[in-house]
Amino acid sequence: MEPDWSDFERRLMVLTVRELRELGRMWYAGMLGGASSKREIAHEMSTQARHWWNGCADVGGRKRVRNVMIALERMEDGDW
């Protein structure tokens, strides 16, 4: 089932910029298009995850999104 992208972006917005950048280093590797503000970073992460889910499913895109979701949960739980 496709993730709720609005909820995903909302959850990203709760993180600190430092946490967002760490998540970005781990899973996005320069794919955030020069985003610098918290809102821009969260939006780019959500947009990129949507692309992986819908456009790259045949090459592991959905698995990557699931891994990002796991990392996000760990950050939310303070297990980072």
For 67-78, what is each residue's pLDDT tens digit? 999 999 999 998
C-alpha dist (Å) from residue 63 to 9, 34, 36: 18, 25, 26
Q: In terms of pTM, does the model score above 0.95?
A: no
For 7-60, what is each residue's pLDDT tens digit? 999 999 999 999 999 999 999 988 888 888 999 999 999 999 999 999 998 889
Question: What's the confidence (pLDDT) of residue 29?
Answer: 87
Query: Domain containing 49: what range?
Result: 5-77
Query: What Rg do the C-alpha atoms of the chain give, in angstroms?
Result: 12
Count of the separate structural domains present in the chain: 1
